[in-house]
Chain A
Amino acid sequence: MRKNRGFINFLFRISGILAALLFTALVLVIAKANPWEAFGNILMGAVSTPIKIADSFVAWVPLILATCGLVITFTTGLWNIGIEGQISLGAIMTTWALRLLQDSGLPPVVIILAGILAGMAGGIIWALLAGVLKFYGGVSEIFAGLGLNFIATALTLWLIFGPWKRAGVASMSGTEPFDMSIWLPTIPGYRLSVWSLALAVASVLIVYFLLQHTVIGLRLKAVGKNYKAAIQMGISPSKYMLLAFVLCGLFAGLTGAVQVLGVYHRLIPSISSGYGFLGLLVAMLVDYQIVWAVPVALLFAALNIGGIQLPIMMKIDSTLSGVMQSALVLFFMLMDGVRKKMLKKEEDLSDE
């Protein structure tokens, strides 16, 4: 019986994925495109050459870093929609530190480290703003976060077109690129940096350890699972929620730092590239389990990379990847709801 239930759960998950694929195929048919061709192009665009596979990992790094932070805030029951802004602030602070230190003659390692630390600080500041607004101002973290996202975008644009203007004319292409000596070194011939990959893996391990094997992790979970019981146990929910904000901001800031140091090597207008929101989707899809986030984030990253070729190959918009990603999470949740409803009915029947 028990085994049977596991199988049923598995079937529901598969049917969620199938429904999402079917939905995407329908959307493609509406757009007068051949679904098979589109799926094939996405697959080939993500895995056909070693460079493309490496690119999927380049996209995986910021996505899993953002998810690392979000798993912590979700654990305490917080909706940190402000993560996009936290990533941007991280990128801004990293750029600031690099600009300050690039001509100082310090060894590149020191400058890079300073950049990473500054980025983390930036993410933490922006996350704390949302946290303080929630706990000392009564403003829902969803709306505080959204507002702060827009402000962070404006701040980025202002810096690029104002004080950090590129010599000559300011443009949407961003600030002056940094000298190669302070880039995160990449594998020759690829855009992928072993260092960012290592940072991402380390972050996953840290978050796993923090949530599964420490008292702090236990208390964070207690706050999320049962707010009132946590108070009874002498845990201050607001203190631990603020801590969750700080930790999430740290990983968000790191995301921004990695994008500046390892991918763009400058500040660009859309530096967060939507990885924060995509991280929210990943975290929801894996039910806030960081271990599962690793493969799912890789799948989502591959979808992003695979979609890039669509406008050239088939003259359809690359937002198809976004449609697929959100459809996956949506149908997964819907099927999960159906499963729970059926299980409940079954239990009600066996009760009678």
Chain B
Amino acid sequence: MNEFLTNMAGVVAAATPVVVAVIGETFSERSGVINLSANGLIVLAAMVGFAAAYTTGMVWVGLLAGFVTGAAAGLLISFSSISLKQSQVAVGFILSLLFRDLAYFLGTPFMVLPGPTVNRFAIPLLKDIPILGPLFFDQNVLVYFSYVLIAMSYYWIFHTRQGLILRGVGEQPISAYSRGIDVNRQRYLYTALGSGLIGLAGPMYSLSIKAGWNGTMTGLDGIGWIVLSITIFGGWNPLRGSFGAYLFVFLQWLGLALQSYWTSVPSQVLQVAPFPLMILTLLFVNIGDTEWVTRMMARLPRGVRGGFYKLFRFLRKPPPASLGVPFERE
């Protein structure tokens, strides 16, 4: 039991950067801008963050450098898509490759060096709560930050006027505009903030969970793509998205744990188990919307149909209506 608790505390810690990046992507996409560069960005920010912390010897400088890297990337994406009207998917994809190669190229001098890491800090009193204490409150500051971020971002998006504006800008920019809101300014702001959070996930790895910079062996390539799909799974809601992040990392851990019991299954198969799961979840989330399902449902008896509708509505959360669409005043 104790060992299991320790493992689960590890899952909570390992999920933290994913949670933060998913919330970042959620902010950006809620405003209507998709940041497809997340995969390369996390790798680059991890390298930059590590380099900054290593050079200065201060962890917070590294974290800040990661955030700034992300925010700068966000500004570049907003500039190219909002001001220059280029495809967000195209620019995001190019940047994803560019950032990754940049990280590997510029990171060479920082390979396998011992660098500073974020210290563990158990919260007094809270840490003594049975089960929950060791699970959630015997972690490092970054993990606590993620709890605050989850709660605050949820409150911000769904319970404040600012959040209402944010959602309006992503759903119906023309109505937001007619009420005197500067749509593009909002998009610039939230893309910079959101991408900054995605960038912050980088040093959260290189200064904590996967401490150090090991070039291509750092093992961060792929996480950004997971972040993008969890954002969809999360229905652009920080609570559901964070749940998705914890679930994903838990399944990853489960895959590794099963390996020792289940030696006949090669390790490579279990390591990619999250990816078929990711496809399956996206399938469950979206299948209710497809033409053939709608047609099949129409043939079902009324009572059964109602149940299915409810199920699909629960699973399916439509994306912000203006996601990826540049805003034109005319």
Residues of A that sit less than 8 Å from B by CB? 27, 30-31, 79, 81, 133, 135-140, 142-144, 146-148, 150-151, 153-154, 157-158, 161-162, 277, 280-281, 284, 316-317, 319-320, 322-323, 325-327, 329-330, 333-334, 336-338, 340-341
- Minimum CB–CB distance from B36 to chain A (whole Å) comes to 8
Closest to A318 in B: B105
Does B282 contact A139, Cβ atoms closer than 8 Å?
A: yes
Closest to B271 in A: A154
Highest count of chain B CB atoms <10 Å: which of A147, A161, A325:
A147
The answer, among A31, A143, A161, A337, for a CB contact under 8 Å with B106, is: A31
The answer, among B94, B100, B222, B288, for a CB contact under 8 Å with A330, is: B94
Given the known A-B contacts A143-B232, A316-B108, are A150 and B97 also in contact in the complex, defined by CB atoms under 8 Å? no
Does A284 contact B228, Cβ atoms closer than 8 Å?
A: no
The answer, among B98, B105, B272, for a CB contact under 8 Å with A150, is: B272
- Asked if B95 lies at the interface with its beta carbon under 8 angstroms from chain A, I say yes
- Asked if B247 lies at the interface with its beta carbon under 8 angstroms from chain A, I say no
The answer, among B84, B98, B101, for a CB contact under 8 Å with A334, is: B84
Does B290 contact A136, Cβ atoms closer than 8 Å?
A: yes
With A142-B89, A330-B94 known, 20 other A-B pairs at CB within 8 A are A31-B105, A137-B290, A140-B232, A140-B282, A143-B225, A143-B282, A150-B275, A154-B269, A154-B272, A161-B266, A162-B266, A281-B97, A317-B105, A322-B97, A322-B98, A322-B101, A323-B102, A334-B80, A334-B84, A336-B86
- Minimum CB–CB distance from B209 to chain A (whole Å) comes to 20
- Minimum CB–CB distance from A165 to chain B (whole Å) comes to 11
Interface size class of B (residues with CB under 8 A): 35 or more
Distance in angstroms between the alpha carbons of A323 and B97 in the assembled complex: 8
B279 proximity list for chain A (CB < 8 A): 133, 139, 143-144, 147-148
The secondary structure that dominates the A interface is helix
What are 30 A-B pairs with beta-carbon distances under 8 A? A30-B106, A79-B93, A136-B290, A137-B282, A137-B286, A138-B283, A138-B287, A143-B225, A143-B228, A146-B225, A147-B229, A151-B275, A154-B268, A158-B266, A158-B268, A158-B269, A161-B266, A161-B268, A280-B93, A317-B108, A323-B101, A323-B105, A325-B97, A326-B101, A330-B95, A337-B83, A337-B85, A340-B85, A341-B83, A341-B85
- Minimum CB–CB distance from A244 to chain B (whole Å) comes to 17
Residue interface mask B251-277, A partner, CB < 8 A = 1: 000000000000000101101100110
B102 proximity list for chain A (CB < 8 A): 27, 323
Closest to B91 in A: A333
Given the known A-B contacts A139-B283, A333-B90, are A151 and B84 also in contact in the complex, defined by CB atoms under 8 Å? no
The answer, among A140, A329, A336, for a CB contact under 8 Å with B94, is: A329
Closest to A277 in B: B97
Closest to A274 in B: B97
Does A330 contact B104, Cβ atoms closer than 8 Å?
A: no
Does B105 contact A27, Cβ atoms closer than 8 Å?
A: yes
Does A330 contact B91, Cβ atoms closer than 8 Å?
A: yes
- Asked if B278 lies at the interface with its beta carbon under 8 angstroms from chain A, I say yes
- Minimum CB–CB distance from A126 to chain B (whole Å) comes to 13
B287 proximity list for chain A (CB < 8 A): 136-138
Distance in angstroms between the alpha carbons of A150 and B215 in the assembled complex: 20
A333 proximity list for chain B (CB < 8 A): 80, 86, 90-91, 94
- Minimum CB–CB distance from B90 to chain A (whole Å) comes to 6
- Asked if B292 lies at the interface with its beta carbon under 8 angstroms from chain A, I say yes
Does A323 contact B268, Cβ atoms closer than 8 Å?
A: no
- Minimum CB–CB distance from B124 to chain A (whole Å) comes to 42
- Asked if B289 lies at the interface with its beta carbon under 8 angstroms from chain A, I say yes
- Minimum CB–CB distance from A157 to chain B (whole Å) comes to 4
B286 proximity list for chain A (CB < 8 A): 137-139
A150 proximity list for chain B (CB < 8 A): 222, 272, 275
Distance in angstroms between the alpha carbons of A137 and B288 in the assembled complex: 8
Residues 42-96 (chain B) with a chain A CB within 8 angstroms:
80, 83-86, 89-91, 93-95
A27 proximity list for chain B (CB < 8 A): 102, 105-106
Distance in angstroms between the alpha carbons of A325 and B36 in the assembled complex: 18
